[in-house]
Amino acid sequence: MEYRAILNWVEQGSAVLDLGCGTGTLLALLVREKGVRAQGIEINEQAIYECVAKGLSVFHEDIDEGLSGYSNQSFDYVILHQSLQQVKKLDYVLTEAMRVGRRVIVGFPNFAHYQARFQIFFTGKTPVTPSLPYEWHDTPNLHFLSISDFVDYCRKRSIKIEKTVFIGKHRKVKILPNLFALTGIFLIQSPACQN
Amino acid sequence: MSARNLLSKKISEEISIPHQDTEMIEQPPKAEENRSAGVVRPKYFRFAYPPYELTLENGEKLGPITVAYETYGKLNDQRSNAILILHALSGDAHAAGIHDGSGQVGWWDNMIGPGKAFDTDRYFIICSNVLGGCMGTTGPCSVNPATKRKYGFDFPIISVSDMVTVQKHLIDHLNITQLLSVAGGSMGGMQALEWLTAHPDRLKSALVIATATRHSPQQIAFNEVGRQAIMADPHWKEGHYYGGHLPGKGLAVARMIGHITYMSEISMAEKFGRRQKNNNDGRLHPFSMGFEVEEYLQNRGDHFVKRFDANSYLYITRAIDSFDASRGKELHEVFRGIKAKVLVLAFKSDWLYPASQSREIVKACKLAGVDATYCEIDSTYGHDAFLLEVKEETHLIKHFLHKVSFERGVTDRYEVIDFDI
């Protein structure tokens, strides 16, 4: 469902850079259904092998080191799906993504989902939810943010939120997303691109 | 002698495999017996007969030129499935299969053959010995038609660009307009970069493995020590040693230095440790402690002398030291407009051609908009890894070529192939 939402936003035949593309499932879908010119960047070697098996072009690199190889606005979309919360230098990576892409798609697990709130409140333990399935000691996530956090973040930096979609366990969430959505996906544009 | 015996005999002799000690191969090639490219014979192509000699990069003329090459698999009717394999410093045209007569196995036999990374059931594979080499292609140990003596030091200075020009003449001769790919590691990778930048329209893709756009001072330094060792050998005689004693000591030392740079600290520690041979007779000289690593290097050096020409070593190392794919510009400027897809591979423990040099190639691809894939393979083998990490390379190369050949219509079906890495 998360992939479907992203597929709907991406225009046919556009150029897409997926940062932290994993095994390339989303990129391969975008290539097949939207005919995009796709490039992935992924830090995990085994995931690279799977991307190459899917016929994708992918770079074995650490996105925390930036995107210095790319010139400004060289992609129509830069995707940071389920990867932004795992980077060390979040501000830097997001700024780089907005420099290189005309639009950026960000998807992350919502830390303020009601299940997480209940778990912290009633059990006093770090929450484990369908979108945050890891125990506190073995999570790859470095940043825990809520949908409201990200909206605030964008407002403070004059980042324009063009589209949003919020996804719960089985369906899209229309009301009170910060309470009911497990995942938030945003289509954003940097202040520099808005003119 | 059965093919299996031939294979293992060759492996034990360790003759034609460059940069590599076959003891390090973990899967013996006999398991690949039914996947061999078969019995092969070298072929020869001659061109640049006077007065139409080839003008080299430095302006000098050379001709006629003989090119020794081998082919594996079949060229399709559209002549669209040809892949040129580019060998490293000490390699030759015998990349795969078993030599008719000698029984030698090709230096990249574990990668080229039916069902292998370079699948001879799908592709037509070509490999030629480089210009300046000593394995059949014109080089300093060839006879100079002007003097009827071997060239020796009279051989003109050659470059990687000249090597590729000669290969292009071979590809023209084979009537192939566009190669499906060019592929090489180390010096072979430099040739692949030269193909990409000098003849971008003649190839659909390039595999650039464990290489650099140009040598760092450290890489030049190691080569210079090798050259000095050869030239310090009293038998070198300004390169005119043919017919007499060969500068074997010098060449052996050059090769020993090479082997040190091809391995990693870990692979040496694992292979030799501080083990010593017990018998004093085996000691190499009064100061030797009989460490296994000493004997190994001596053996590698001695083997090399039997099959390689010292002058070729000088000419070829000079060529790769002077190589600069960027031609004095920014690399991405030179890359601009390249439509070929590029696969760049590096190895974590390779300190001779470190991954940072491959990442420079990747960066230029990004800036120039070249469609590229990069993988830094986790290996402890050092620079030798490009000949040893067969499983990982096979996976990446197979799928990469599959994609390229699908786009070119060589393969009509595109499916994601299962794999197990």
SS (HEC) of A18-41: EECCCCCHHHHHHHHHHCCEEEEE
Q: What are B366-387's pLDDT values in tens digits?
A: 999 999 999 999 999 999 999 9
Q: Answer whether residue B122 shows pLDDT above 70.
A: yes
- Sequence spans of domains, chain B: 3-215+330-408
How far is residue B234's CA from residue B246's CA, in Å, rounded to a whole number?
Answer: 9
Q: Taking the mean position of all CA atoms in its chain, how far away is CA B309?
A: 16
ipTM: 0.92
Q: Which residues of B touch A69 (CB under 8 A)?
A: 362-367
User: pTM here?
Assistant: 0.90
pLDDT of residue A37: 96
Q: Looking at beta carbons, which residues of chain B come within 8 Å of A42? A: none
Task: Spell out the domain ranges in chain A.
Answer: 2-111+141-189
The answer, for A160 touching chain B at a CB cutoff of 8 Å, is: no
Nearest CA to A68 out of B367, B338, B361 is that of B367
Active site residue B80: no
Q: Which CATH architecture has domain B3-215+330-408?
A: 3-Layer(aba) Sandwich (3.40)
Q: What is the pLDDT of residue B414?
A: 55
Eight-state DSSP code of residue B50: T
Asked whether the beta carbons of A15 and A35 are under 8 A apart, the reply is: no
Strand partners, A83: none
Distance between B399 CA and the closest CA of chain A, angstroms: 5
Side-chain-side CA neighbours of B259 within 13 Å: the count stands at 25
From the list B369, B399, B421, the residue facing A46 with the nearest CB is B421
Q: Measure the CA–CA gap between A154 and B276, rounded to whole angstroms.
A: 66
Give the 3-state secondary structure of residue B82.
strand
Q: What is the structure's pLDDT at B398? A: 97
Instruction: Say if the Cβ atoms of A49 and B392 lie within 8 Å.
Output: yes
Q: In whole angstroms, give the CA distance from residue B174 to residue B377.
A: 35
Catalytic (active site) residue B92: no
CA distance B227 to chain A (A): 36
Residue that the structure tokens 């970069």 belong to: B193
B21 is catalytic: no
Hey, of B332, B338, B344, B366, which one would you mutate to test binding to chain A, going by the most A CBs within 10 A of its CB?
B366
At the fourth CATH level, the homologous superfamily of domain A2-111+141-189 is Vaccinia Virus protein VP39 (3.40.50.150)
CA distance A53 to chain B (A): 5
User: Could you report the per-residue pLDDT of A83-131, keeping only the tens digit for each?
Assistant: 999 999 999 999 999 999 999 999 999 999 999 999 999 999 999 999 9
- Answer whether residue A169 shows pLDDT above 50: yes
DSSP element (H, E) containing B307: helix B292-307
Rounded to 5 degrees, φ, ψ at B408 are -90, -5
Task: Give chain B's contact residues with A (Cβ, < 8 Å).
Answer: 341, 359, 362-367, 369, 371-378, 392, 395-396, 399-400, 402-403, 406, 414, 416-417, 419, 421
